Each structure stands twice: as C-alpha cells, then as structure tokens.
Amino acid sequence: MEYLVGNDLRALNQGPSSPVPWDKVGPEQALRLFGYRLKPSPEWARVQLNKRVLFLAKELLRNPDDNSRAENFLRVWQDAFGGLGPNQVGKDPAGKARGLALEYVVYFHLKDFLEHKSAVRGKVAPPGHLDPVKPVHNPREVDGVFWLGGSLGFVECKQNLRNALNRHHEDAALWLLQERFGGLFGKGILVARKAGWRDHEKPPEKLLSTDVLEDRNLRVFGFQRPQRLEKGMIWAFPEDLEKAFADWLPGTLPTP
C-alpha cells in the first residue's frame, strides 16, 4: 500500500490489523474533516433529557392543532432550557412549538438507540447550523447529525411527508446534505410527523422526489405503522430504528 506526498509515492509499512476506534469519534469531529463545524441553535444550547418536556412534546405531536398545548410546551421548554427569545419563536409560536417537539422526540430516541441499544454504537449531535471553517459557503441548518460506524449522517424533520418528498421544497433536500457533507458513505434519515395522505392526494411514490425512497443511504420514518410502498419503505419511528439501520451497521446482515 502506498501514499502520495507531493511527487513521491511512498510505501506504507505493513503491520498487524487494528480495530478502528469509531466509538471515540463524534459527528462534530467528522464534520471538521469536511471543513465544517456544528453550531447548536440557541434554543438547543443547554438541552438535555427532561421527561416532562419529552412527554409534552409527544402530546403535542399527537394533537398538533391544539394551540394551548403548543403555548404550554414553549413555556416549559423555556423554563427547562432557555434560549427561546423573540427571534427564535418568530411570528408563528405554534409552528415553532411543533417543530421543536418533533426535533426533540427524534433527537432523544435516536440518541437512546445509537448510544445504548444499537449493535454498533454511534453518537448524535442536536440541531444546529453547519458553519464553514472557511467562510466560502453559506451555513446550512440541520435537524441533527449522527456518526455511525465510520459514516456521517444527517437528520431532517418535517411535519408532512407529502411536502417533505417534494423536490421543489428546498428544505427537504436531505440528499444534498447527505451527498455534499456526508460523501460517498453519507447517511440521512427523514422523519415526518404525518407520513400518511388523504384519499384525494397523490401517494409519495407519485411525487417528484421518490428517489429518496430508493436510496440505500437514506431512510424515511413516520409516526405510525410502517408502510411498504412500491419504491421503498416508510419505517415507524422509533419502533423500527433497529430494522431500518440493520444494513448500515458493520458486521450485521441487511433486513430482507
């Protein structure tokens, strides 16, 4: 085996194989290899596991149109973690609450799975912005980043799967994150609160961006029973994390 130094091709001394310490690396360190650092969003700077916040987040996701629940969730979040100034809440507090609730539930279930239950341990970082180390690119918002067995993965959270899979919806460009920042082995998961559709709506396989369902490096999740479609699988979150991640884990067999 050789490596290139300037114009010289030098031999690499052969020695016994050694295990790669992937568990010592986190997504923040891996991002730096791509010239980026993760800057947590202000409302996520002091976030930790809080059972009351998690309970209220799940309640809000089950009742997304209940504005009183949304207001209460934001109030409890601010008391627990802070970081919710006027600039963070914006003109749509209920929408902000739904988004935070979805991100919170996804972050902690993914963290629990990768750090405690997965056959191969991984690490997760909370939502934030990918800031370039050298300011030649614009920062990019992400709903989470994870590191698993030598692969960098990204999380995208959406309220509605039908909109999220529409290629014209710029924020749904999960494949851009996966390919641009994750490279050849990059991974990505899309989690939608509402992954079903009404009878008069087109099902996801008829939308423009169904390649996300066929891509082996991407996974789509919803908060209900799993659905097997013609072009791919919509997995149940968080129940199907182990099955969905099976062929991403080194040394494990893919799910049939």
Which pTM was predicted?
A: 0.82
Write the DSSP string, 201-227: SPPGGGSTTTHHHH-TTEEEEESSS-E
- 93, 71 in Cβ contact below 8 A? yes
- Three-class secondary structure of residue 157 per DSSP: strand
Q: What's 16-41 look like in SS3? A: CCCCCCHHHCCHHHHHHHCCEEEEEC
How far, in Å, CA of 73 to CA of 55, rounded? 10
DSSP H or E run through 57: helix 51-62
The strand order across the sheet containing 36-40 reads 36-40, 128-132, 140-142
What is the DSSP secondary structure assignment for residue 207, as one 8-state letter?
A: S
Is the pLDDT assigned to residue 199 strictly greater than 90? no
pLDDT digits 0-9 by tens, 76-122 = 999 999 988 887 788 899 999 999 999 999 999 999 999 998 877 89
Amino acid identity, position 77: W
pLDDT digits 0-9 by tens, 14-66 = 777 667 676 778 888 888 877 888 998 899 999 999 999 999 999 999 999 99
Is the pLDDT assigned to residue 206 strictly greater than 50? no
Residue 65, pLDDT score:
94
DSSP H or E run through 220: strand 218-222
Q: Is the dihedral of CA 72, 77, 80, 82 positive or negative?
A: negative
Average predicted confidence (pLDDT) for the chain: 81
- 153, 146 in Cβ contact below 8 A? yes
